């Protein structure tokens, strides 16, 4: 089951469970669509691509709560682009 992390790892923008602009990679690294664009759609952690994060149905939130763990690791864009 997806964690549905609450914020963008780069800019710390809030990404609630129903955020339309939340993107994840295969390891569930979570970024907003603006940051994914800046990253040229390459995850700075694993090098994989991004997909739109699914929206967990509101009626399942009590049984399957979303994560409250904030992962905030601003990207060093210069280093990221050297890896591309």
| The predicted structure's pLDDT at residue 74 | 98
Instruction: Name the region of 15 (left: φ>0; alpha: ψ -120 to 50; beta: rest).
Output: beta
Which residues, 6+ apart, have CB-to-CB distance to 27 below 8 Å?
Answer: 43, 45, 46, 48
Tens digits of residue pLDDT in 4-47: 999 999 999 999 999 999 999 999 999 999 999 999 999 999 99
pLDDT band, residue 55 (cuts 50/70/90): very high
CATH number of the domain residue 47 falls in: 3.30.40
In a domain, 83, yes or no: no
Supply the range of the domain harboring residue 61.
1-76
pTM, 2 dp: 0.95
Rounded Cα–Cα distance for residues 56 and 37 (Å) = 24
In a domain, 82, yes or no: no
């Amino acid at each position: 089951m997806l964690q549905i992390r609450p914020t963008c790892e780069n800019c710390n923008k809030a990404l609630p469970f129903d955020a339309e602009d939340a993107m994840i990679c295969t390891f569930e690294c979570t970024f907003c669509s603006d940051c994914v664009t800046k990253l040229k759609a390459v995850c700075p952690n694993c090098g994989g691509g991004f997909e739109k994060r699914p929206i967990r149905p509101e009626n399942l939130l009590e049984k399957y709560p979303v994560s409250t763990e904030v992962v905030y690791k601003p990207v060093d864009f210069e280093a990221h682009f050297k890896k591309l």
